[in-house]
Structure 1
Amino acid sequence: MAEYGFYHLTRTPLDRALPRLLGRVLEAGGRAMVLLGSRERMEALDAALWTATDPDWLPHGTPLIGHAPLQPIWLTTEDAPEEGAPNAARFLFLLDGMTSARLDRFERVLDLFDGGDEAAVQAARTRWRQAKAAGHALTYWQQGARGWEKAG
């Protein structure tokens, strides 16, 4: 079972919080797959990651550009196939309320949601209940004055 973390964005927007989390994955020698809700969101995030400044280098690709096995970060709108992430990622980032039928293919799942959007918060609560019922080890993180704070 994957370690499943919920990341409640309350202080910074996704486009600033996500690069830092992805940078931590890369610093640890990991690879990440980022599952997004639409092609437009994927293209916008692709552009944002190329111009991110913290960290200032986040090598990545998408099904539109890039060969997945060579990419440490893979942005996609498609769930991982049966055999796992196309780039052999062990970290899965879920954005836009996305879910995956392949959570067992990842060591860690990070589900990021906007605390300023009540519908997103309610949807995250539903995903929490589903992940708990499936037997995943759950953690809840909220942005605090000093960064991410583990709650509960």
Structure 2
Amino acid sequence: MTEIGFYHLTRMSVAEALAPLLGRTLAAGQRAVVRGDAARIAALDASLWLSANPDWLPHGTASMGFGADQPIWLTEGGDVPNGARFLFLVDDAAADFSRFDRVFDMFDGNDADAVAAARERWRVAKEAGHTLTYWQQGEHGWVKAAG
């Protein structure tokens, strides 16, 4: 089964939290797919080029092409042209987890609806037998609170 980490954002935006996690993914020799809605993907495309930590996050989108060559692929859909084994969900996007080793489910802890939706995704994933962890932003980084 897939390892799914729920990342409860309380101190920073998705873009700010995503960049270091993607940096660690690349440092581990992995590729990633980031899935969200069209507006979020456009915003992340711009912000990842400007990232300071890490300062280089090579990535691509369908409009850029060369999907197989992209270490990080930003998408609205289910496409995984780069063969990534890590999936980052940033907008409550539904996904088939079977093709991924790890899933990072990132949600805004300041939005009651997002928290309720994440709780439901947790319940469904647990019933499906996935390995779950829950991470909350602390003063100095991520704190594992469950799993």
Deviation at 1:57, TM superposition (A): 0.2
- In structure 2, give the amino acid aligned to 1:78: G
Same amino acid, percent of matched pairs: 58
Q: Which residue of 2 aligns with 1:139?
A: 133
Q: Name segments (4+ residues, structure 1) moved above 2 Å.
A: none
Which residue of 95, 98, 109 corresponds with 2:93? 98
Q: Deviations over 1:15-65 (max 9, x none)?
A: 11100100000011110000112x222111101101111111000000111
Query: What TM-score, normalized to structure 2?
Result: 0.96
Superposition pairs of residues 105-144 of structure 1, within 5 angstroms? 105-144=99-138
What's the C-alpha RMSD, in Å, of the aligned pairs? 0.9
Matched letter for residue 84 of structure 2? A
Question: AA paired with 1:11?
Answer: R
2:15 paired residue number = 15
Q: Read off the aligned partner of 2:111 and give its amino acid letter.
A: D
How many residues are paired up?
A: 146
C-alpha separation in 2, matches of 1:29 and 1:7: 21
Q: CA deviation at 1:79?
A: 1.5
Q: 1:150 aligns with which of 135, 138, 144?
A: 144
Structure 1: tracts of 5 or more residues without a match:
none
Distance 2:142 2:67 in 1: 30
Partners of 1:52 and 1:146 lie apart in 2 by 19
In the alignment, the residues of structure 1 paired with residue 97 and residue 81 of structure 2 have an alpha-carbon distance, to the nearest angstrom, of 14
Displacement of 1:66 in angstroms is: 2.8
Q: Which residue of 2 aligns with 1:51?
A: 50
